[in-house]
Structure formats: C-alpha cells, structure tokens
A and B are shown apart, each in its own frame.
Chain A
Amino acid sequence: MESSKHKWMPYVWLLPSILLIGIFVVFPILIVFRLSFSEISKAGVVGGFVGFQNYIDAVNLPAFKTVMKNTFWWVLSVVGLSTLLGFIIALVLNQKFRGRKIARSILIFPWATSLVIQASVWNYIIKYEYGNLNNVLLNLGIIRSPINWRVSYQVEFIWECGVGIFVTIPFVAFCVLSGLQSIDESLYESATVDGAGFWSKLWYITIPLVRPSLSVSTVLNIIYVFNSFPIIFTMTKGAPANKTDTMVTYLYMLSFYDRKKGPANALSVIGFLILCLCAGVYMMTVMRKEDEG
C-alpha cells in the first residue's frame, strides 16, 4: 500500500511545475510554430496558412546572412572565451590565499547585476565625449585627446562581445569551482608523489573531473548567450542597419519596428531549432564521452 502511494506521489508534486512549464513554455512554443506558418498582418492580426512563405521571406531578407554570421561569432566568442577565462579564474580561486572569500564575492557582481544596467554602464565607460575610460586615460596622461572607442560597427560588435564575456565569466567560474571543490585532494597528492607536474595534473585529473560541471555550464551558456537580448539592444540596437544584430535582437526589430511579423516568427522557430540542435549535439557528445570514460 505504502509503495503504491509512493509511485504516484512524485507526479503529484511535479504537477504544478509541469502545468506551469506547459502553460508558459510549451504552449507559447506551439503558438510560435503555428504563427510561423500563418499570414500575420502588420497590426498583428493572424490570417490563414501560408506554408513555408514566412521562412522563405525570412531567409531572403537582406540582413539575414549578416545576422546569422553575427550570431555565430557572438555565441562562439562569448561562450568560448568566457569558458576559458572562467576556468582559469576558477583554478585561481580554488587556491588557498588571503582574501579568497572577498575575491569570490567580487566575482559574482557582474553576474548578479542586471544585463541592461551592465550594458548601460559600459556604454558610459566607452563614451567618446565624457566616457570614464577616456577620462581615466586622459587624467593619467596616457592619451592626449579622447579616443573614439566605437569607431566602427565592427569595433562596437567586439565591445558587445566583450561585455557578454565579462558578464558570463562568473557563471562559468562558479560552475567549475563547484566541480573543483569536489575533487579529492589525495588524487593530487598521489600524482605529485608520482612526479606529475602542473600541466599533467591539470590534463589528467582536473579537466576530466570537472568535465560534468563544464558540460552543464557550456550547454546553459549556449542557450543563454544565443537568446541574450539586453546587451546588444542597449548598446547598439543592432545599428548600423542590423550590422551588429544577432538573431534575437533582429527578430524583435523585424517584428516590432519593421512589422514583418511572419518572417519574425519564422526566424524565431529557426533559432529554436538551431539551439535544440546545438544543445543536442553537445549533450550527446559529452554524454558519450562520459559513458566511455
């Protein structure tokens, strides 16, 4: 009697979450799929079925290629570099040194602050006219006249990636740190006795053992960064002419500025599928390696 009750109890407790996910996640996704195959007027009135026309229109938009290229570099640079730097910082923070707790607390600030605030602050820092960076450099006598830190859209995009990396590092660092703290100290001691150096220990002990933490942080990061809207929208709004847009900011502009709602929905679905594919491939690769390991 007791065991049969326990069989369905977990489902009862999960029901509210399942209902919420169903209403607020699954249902909107299904609606977007439906809208991507529907004719949608400029004012937002949903019309009849139009097959793949919205997808064809989306792919033929003049900015489509640029936006896809930007999205690729945005995700690759932010996820890649924040993972690398976050890993290094986690290694440092795992060492015993005076002020370690303070260093760990400071590290969380960029992650704990709202992205819109972060992006706005960086906008002020790199402002040409009265930006903090120019002021500091001028006061220190390093430069004689202000530098235009946003001299071209390519540079602006690099700044946006930089801010993306800056705010993402803490998340990776804390994920890796939790993995590092679970490694048994005796493994390093035995390796040291066997004559292993820093790189050998890193390669044969640390990396394999933090891989699960790293996998989780990377998959989550790919999803977060791909869907990240505030940094780009606050810093450039995709300007000039969508040259700094990523897919998410572009589809927002497409829907609510250009009022091309059909193609915007189609792009949204394309983004969702790309994300599913990336996360799926990555998870399968990592899980296979872990199984092999």
Chain B
Amino acid sequence: MKKFTSILLTSAMVLSMAAAVPAYAETDTIELDVIICQYGPNTNDWFLGSGMDGSNFVAKFEEANPGIKLNLDVVSWNDVYTEVDTRIANNNAPDILNIDVFANYANEGLLLPVSDYCPEELYNDFFPSFIDQSVIDGTVWAVPDLASARALYYNVDIFEEVGIEPPTTWAELEDACQAIIDFYEGEVYPWGIDMTTDEGQAAFAYYTWGNGGGFVDENGEWAVNSAENAEAINFALSLVQNGYTNPNPATQTRYDLQDMFAAGKLAMVIAPNSLPTYVADKGGQINMATVGIPANEGKTSSSVGVMDRVMAFKDDSAPDQAARNEAIGKFLQFFYDPENYVGWVSMEGFLPAVNSAVEALVASDESFGAWLDVLGSCQFYPTAKAEWDQVKQGVIAAEQNALTGADIQAELDALQAELVK
C-alpha cells in the first residue's frame, strides 16, 4: 500500500508540473501578449483593475473587440528590460511592447514595420516629429505613446527671499548658486544634479546641448568626445566641486532631487512637466515656476524631450498574420481613442503623442499648452542608433569616473574610440 501511495504521490507531483503548461488553443480567438510599463501608482489599476471608470482597459477592449484576447502585464521600469530580454531569448517575445528603446529590436529583425499594422488615420494623428524618432533606414518601427519635456523648476519663495532672478546662462547660474549658499549658509542646495545610472544621460544632455555639443554631430554621427561636451561636463563638475549641488550626484536620483525640492531643501531642479503633481503627492506646497534650462553664454538653451514607444514584435508561428496585424491595429486604435487616451495621459501626468488628444487636454489643464510648445522645440536622445545603449551607459560611466577625479576628455575619448571601432 505504501509503495502504491508513494508512486501515486510522485506521479502526481510530476504531472502537476506538466499540467502547468497551458493546454488550450482556441482557433477563433487571437491572443495578444502585451507588456505595458508602469508609469505611476495608477497604471496597473487603469489597465487591469478598476481605474478606468470603474472598469479597466483590458475588459473594455475585449468587450469592444470580440475575438481578441489581451494577456496584458504591467511591468515596472526596473524589471521591463530583464523581462523582455528573457522572453526574447526564450523565443517568447510579447506581441505588443511599450518601452523606451527600439533600435536593437528593429536591427535584429524582431519588429514589424508600423505600416504593417497601424491604421492610416491613426498614423496621421501622431506628431510627425515624434514619428521621426523611430525611423531606421526609412522604416518606422514604433509609434510614440507619450512624451515628457524637461525644464528648469525653481522655488519662487527662495528666489524672492534671496533677491535673485532665475538664471538663463551658466554664469548667472553660478552667481545664483553662490547667492543662495551665502543666504542660507548651506541649509539649501542651490542646484540638483543626477549623474546616476538611472538618468545620468539626461545630465549629459542638459549641459552638452546647452553648450552646442551633444551625443551626435550635425551629420548624425557619434561625437561624444567633442570639446564642447568636455567643457560642458567640466562645468557641471565644477558646480559639484564648489558645493552648489546635492552632495552625492552618483547615487542621488532625480526622485531624490524631486523629494528635496518638495521639502524646500533644493532651490532648482531640472524636471519633467509632472513635477507639480509629484510635489503635491508628496505633500509639498512649493511655490514653483519654470524657465528654460540655462545654457553657456552665446549658446542656445534646448529642452530635453523624452519619449516612450509602442512596438509590435513578429510572430512567425501565428497562423493568420493578417488577422494578427489587424488585431494589433485595433489595440492601437482603442488605446489612442481620445475617450481612453486623454484619461490615461492626464492620469500619468505626461504629454500626449497624438493631435486628437491635444484639444481635450488643453481644455482640462491650461499648462499643457505651454508644455506642448516646449515639446515642439525639444531635442531627443538619438535612440534610433543601434549603439544608444552603449552610449547611454558610457556617458554615465564617464561622468561618474570624472566625479571621482578622472579626466572627462580622456573618458569621452575612450568611449568615442569604442564607438567608432
């Protein structure tokens, strides 16, 4: 009896593992695996819970599109790269992915061109300057889902108390920092710098674009080691060395800076348009205003635009490719329908990517209009270039090495040499 029981138990355990493999295969229903990034605390609730007028995106979509089933996951930004890469390595890429980068996936032939699935009317609704950011060799590989623009926020009360004007040039910035240090005797940090692995590439953009430099030259070729770039980063480092900034730029992220700003401990921070919402959520009551990011004397100030994307992966095993493409198109149409999209963008506190949403958003919040103007003049990261990941990590490493005493020009030269190798 014991023998029989043990065999039964063992078989049950083994079979239970086998049973974990789904055995359903409905022929009429198209299933789409969708990965959405978690932009805020309400993202999951909106897509899967009850955050969309008591229902959720998936339920509403499936109700409106019988025959299409969404397996939608909301994944945090910390985990999304790990999850997507692992799925790709296991030949189990999602059908639809929302993420920031796309060039590697496109270059490796994993993506479908947007023209294969995006309805023309919707395609024409996207801001053309956004679509241009997702083009490689004349093909559009992804569509934008939202964007944010960065500007300099300053604490108006601190500026009035010290009796200074918001800076527009680097020289004015240094003077303002010194005035704040003198007035508050070090109790308030004048300037926030984030050179962490989270967003050190943004710091690189803020300073180099304000000095006529940048990641690429006028021909779109990598030019990370230009003299303008080295000068710009040296200027940023001088702010740290002079004690004008938060003390640990290599480990204090933008969110740490925003927390300090919300607590009134930081006078100036470069942040996206969602900062007022962030500060309010933290219980801060800061009298704040925005100006352009300061640039070097005689150079043009440039706002930094950050844009995320939605893309569709190929799936050669799908029995009916045309039906699958159509289903992906329906997903996009439903997502960007102003009735759904406007609520989502305003909930997340970002800027829209389609014209049809602008009117409703500006009507609900006037500040959107001003931010949309800023967005129009933004520069974006060169994410369409295959080496972007390497450049992003490379400039962060260069900044962090320079923070510990290395020569920034030598660091950038080494990165450039690696890029052109």
Query: Which residues of chain A in 1-57 are interfacial with respect to chain B, using CB atoms and an 8 Å cutoff?
Result: 5, 9, 12-13, 15-16, 19, 23, 40-46
Assuming A16-B13, A45-B108, is B400 touching A241 (CB within 8 A)? yes
* CB–CB B3/A256 < 8 A: no
A272 contacts B by Cβ under 8 Å:
no
B139 contacts A by Cβ under 8 Å:
no
Interface code B233-261, partner A: CB below 8 Å = 1, 0 otherwise?
00000000000000110110000000010
Identify the closest chain B residue to A258 (Cβ): B393
* CB–CB B390/A258 < 8 A: yes
Q: How far is the CA of A256 from the CA of B86 in the complex (A)?
A: 10
Interface code B182-217, partner A: CB below 8 Å = 1, 0 otherwise?
000010000000011100000000000000000000
Q: Which residues of A contact B398 (CB under 8 A)?
A: 241
Query: Which residues of chain A in 132-148 are interfacial with respect to chain B, using CB atoms and an 8 Å cutoff?
Result: 145, 148
CB distance from A37 to the nearest CB of B (A): 15
Q: Which residues of A contact B197 (CB under 8 A)?
A: 237-239, 253, 257
* CB–CB A12/B248 < 8 A: no
CB distance from A235 to the nearest CB of B (A): 8
Q: Which residues of A contact B401 (CB under 8 A)?
A: 240-241
Assuming A16-B10, A239-B197, A239-B400, is B86 touching A258 (CB within 8 A)? no
Q: Which residues of A contact B186 (CB under 8 A)?
A: 145
Interface code B292-306, partner A: CB below 8 Å = 1, 0 otherwise?
000000000000000
Contact of A44 among B88, B386, B400 (CB under 8 A): B88
Could you show 19 A-B contacts with beta carbons less than 8 Å apart? Answer: A9-B3, A9-B6, A12-B7, A12-B10, A16-B13, A42-B389, A43-B105, A43-B110, A44-B89, A45-B89, A45-B108, A45-B110, A129-B260, A148-B248, A150-B248, A240-B250, A240-B251, A241-B398, A241-B401
Assuming A42-B108, A128-B247, A128-B248, is B81 touching A256 (CB within 8 A)? yes
Q: How far is the CA of A42 from the CA of B106 in the complex (A)?
A: 11
* CB–CB B82/A256 < 8 A: yes
A236 contacts B by Cβ under 8 Å:
yes
Identify the closest chain B residue to A151 (Cβ): B247
* CB–CB A5/B389 < 8 A: no
* CB–CB B105/A129 < 8 A: no
Contact of A156 among B89, B108, B110, B251 (CB under 8 A): B251
Q: How far is the CA of A95 from the CA of B291 in the complex (A)?
A: 67
Q: Which residues of A contact B393 (CB under 8 A)?
A: 257-258
A153 contacts B by Cβ under 8 Å:
yes
Q: Which residues of A contact B3 (CB under 8 A)?
A: 5, 9
Q: Which residues of B contact A13 (CB under 8 A)?
A: 6
B14 contacts A by Cβ under 8 Å:
yes
Q: Which residues of B contact A237 (CB under 8 A)?
A: 196-197, 251
Which of A235, A237, A239 has most chain B Cβ within 10 Å?
A239
Q: Which residues of B contact A42 (CB under 8 A)?
A: 104, 108, 386, 389
Q: How far is the CA of A5 from the CA of B6 in the complex (A)?
A: 12
CB distance from B141 to the nearest CB of A (A): 13
B404 contacts A by Cβ under 8 Å:
yes
Query: Which residues of chain B in 362-421 are interfacial with respect to chain A, using CB atoms and an 8 Å cutoff?
Result: 386, 389-390, 393, 396-398, 400-401, 403-404
B314 contacts A by Cβ under 8 Å:
no
Q: Which residues of B contact A243 (CB under 8 A)?
A: 400, 404
Assuming A12-B6, A257-B393, A258-B390, is B86 touching A239 (CB within 8 A)? no
A242 contacts B by Cβ under 8 Å:
yes
Q: Which residues of A contact B69 (CB under 8 A)?
A: none
Contact of B88 among A23, A45, A239, A240 (CB under 8 A): A45
Closest 7 CB pairs of A and B: A240-B400, A241-B400, A240-B250, A44-B85, A44-B89, A44-B88, A42-B104
Query: Which residues of chain B in 59-97 are interfacial with respect to chain A, using CB atoms and an 8 Å cutoff?
Result: 81-82, 84-86, 88-89
* CB–CB A241/B110 < 8 A: no
Q: How far is the CA of A12 from the CA of B6 in the complex (A)?
A: 7
CB distance from B386 to the nearest CB of A (A): 8
CB distance from B196 to the nearest CB of A (A): 6
* CB–CB B404/A153 < 8 A: yes
Interface size in chain A (residues, C-beta < 8 A): 41
Q: Which residues of B contact A256 (CB under 8 A)?
A: 81-82, 85
CB distance from A248 to the nearest CB of B (A): 14
A211 contacts B by Cβ under 8 Å:
no
Q: How far is the CA of A129 from the CA of B186 in the complex (A)?
A: 11
* CB–CB B81/A241 < 8 A: no
A104 contacts B by Cβ under 8 Å:
no
Contacts A12-B7, A153-B404, A240-B403 known; list 4 others, CB within 8 Å.
A19-B14, A43-B110, A241-B397, A257-B389
* CB–CB B108/A15 < 8 A: no
Assuming A16-B13, A41-B108, A239-B197, is B400 touching A46 (CB within 8 A)? no
Q: How far is the CA of A238 from the CA of B401 in the complex (A)?
A: 12
A201 contacts B by Cβ under 8 Å:
no
B265 contacts A by Cβ under 8 Å:
yes
Q: How far is the CA of A77 from the CA of B389 in the complex (A)?
A: 34
* CB–CB A129/B251 < 8 A: no
Q: How far is the CA of A236 from the CA of B253 in the complex (A)?
A: 11
Q: Which residues of A contact B265 (CB under 8 A)?
A: 129
Which of B81, B85, B86, B260 has most chain A Cβ within 10 Å?
B85
Q: How far is the CA of A259 from the CA of B387 in the complex (A)?
A: 10
Q: Which residues of A contact B13 (CB under 8 A)?
A: 16, 19
Q: Which residues of A contact B82 (CB under 8 A)?
A: 256
Q: Which residues of A contact B389 (CB under 8 A)?
A: 42, 257-259
Q: Which residues of B contact A240 (CB under 8 A)?
A: 195, 250-251, 400-401, 403-404
Q: Which residues of A contact B400 (CB under 8 A)?
A: 239-241, 243
CB distance from A88 to the nearest CB of B (A): 33
Q: Which residues of A contact B247 (CB under 8 A)?
A: 128, 148, 150-151
* CB–CB A239/B250 < 8 A: yes
Q: Which residues of B contact A156 (CB under 8 A)?
A: 251
Query: Which residues of chain B in 98-114 are interfacial with respect to chain A, using CB atoms and an 8 Å cutoff?
Result: 104-105, 108, 110
Identify the closest chain A residue to B88 (Cβ): A44
